[in-house]
Amino acid sequence: MINQFSSPLRKNTSTFSFTLGNKAGGIMPSSSASSAAGFSDASFQEWRDLIYELSGIYFQDNKKYLLESRLQKRISYLNLGTFEKYYEYVKSGPNRKNELKYLFEVITINETFFFRNQPQLDALVTTVVPALLESNGRVNKNKLRIWSAASSSGEEAYSVAMVIWEMLRPKYPGLTLEIIGTDINYAVLETARSGIYKEYSIRNTPPYYLKKYFKQDGNTWEVIPDIKRLVTFKELNLTDDAGMKMMTGFDIIFCANVLIYFDTKSKIKVINSLYNSLNRDGYLFIGYSETLHGISKAFKLVSFPKTIGYKKE
């Protein structure tokens, strides 16, 4: 028997139990060819292909200077001098594995904030979770597994934990909740694990939640322990087949504001993996500006006030 509000799965998952048993600095170069040793079109193509192969992220032609400035940070730090030398360092250098961490840190865009998508949170607590918990034939009625895929620094995962704790804990006191946040960028995951945020992250947080679920210390806000212990974070590349196969048995997946960085082929691959990670009757939520049109026909589109979800039937 799992203790009330204890977190027995702390290391791998987080469990919310009502018997419930639980960012690289650097110089921004100008776009001139003289920065580092010039980012030639050939080097850009080579880098674009490598990053795509490693992460599914596709840098369009108009993002050449963005990529140049991002890579420049590591080239300067490592004192390598040219984009070609850094390419060899990442592709076949002895520190390859370790360097990938830093590469992903500089090339990813990690914008996120608490309560970013209120209509999704409303749909979650008014309809999706109650329907899942009350559906006939549900094998484990008291357990809910939620995944924030591409969680960045954790604001989405913690927002989900807060609304469920606030709105549904009283109604389903026996619920076991596990929320997992994953990202390819190890540095943002460190922030996520700390649960400590600057004003920028909490700017959209309803005052009620800010007061109840954060502890303010000067100009930082820390998520309270009751919420922190419901959520765990781990590094995961959404295009890594082996890693994705380990992610099974989820009732709800949030995969928001990351598909925009992928091309169609990567989107299809990732969405297909997420589909396989969901339980039957589970839901997938993506970002406001994202769509599965032309990506997957496997889901049933479900409308909620001011938002939509994708259901696996």
C-beta neighbour count of 77 within 10 angstroms: 14
Q: What whole-number distance in Å separates Cα of residue 129 and Cα of residue 287?
A: 19
> Which part of the chain contacts ligand SAM (CB under 6 A), choosing from 26-34, 65-73, 107-115, 211-219?
107-115
Indicate whether 118 belongs to the interface with ligand SAM (CB under 6 A): no
Q: Which is nearer to ligand SAM, 90 or 184 (CB)?
A: 184
Among 68, 156, 178, 251, binds ligand SAM (CB under 6 A): 156
Query: Among 235, 285, 233, 282, which Cα is nearest to 256's?
Result: 285
The amino acid at residue 264 is T
**Min dist. Cβ of residue 121 to ligand SAM (A):** 12
Residue from the set 237, 250, 251, 252 that interacts with ligand SAM by CB under 6 A: 237
As a whole number of angstroms, the distance between CA 276 and CA 202 comes to 33
Residue placing its CB nearer to ligand SAM in the complex, 184 or 278: 184
Q: How many Cα atoms within 13 Å fall on the side-chain side of residue 205? A: 28
Which residues, 6 or more positions from 87, have their beta carbon under 8 angstroms from its beta carbon? 43, 46, 47, 50
33 CB contacts (<8 Å, ≥6 apart)? 39, 40
Which range binds ligand SAM by CB under 6 A, 43-51, 208-216, 252-260, 273-281? 252-260
Please identify which residue in the block is written with the tokens 């049933």: 300
Nearer Cβ to ligand SAM, position 84 or 156?
156
**Does 273 sit near ligand SAM (CB under 6 A)?**
no
Q: How far is the CB of 13 from ligand SAM (least distance, A)?
A: 18
258 binds ligand SAM (CB under 6 A): yes
Burial class (CB in 10 A: 0-12, 13-18, 19+), 19: middle
> Which one, 17 or 152, has the nearer CB to ligand SAM?
152
By beta-carbon proximity to ligand SAM, the closer residue of 36 and 253 is 253
Residue 295 makes contact with ligand SAM by CB under 6 A: no
The single residue listed with the structure tokens 């108009």 is 62
* CA 203 from centre of chain: 19
185 binds ligand SAM (CB under 6 A): yes
**Does residue 150 bind ligand SAM (CB under 6 A)?**
yes
Q: With binding defined as CB under 6 A, does residue 108 bind ligand SAM?
A: yes
Residues that bind ligand SAM (CB under 6 A): 55-57, 108-112, 116, 150-152, 156, 183-185, 188, 237-239, 256-258, 261, 287
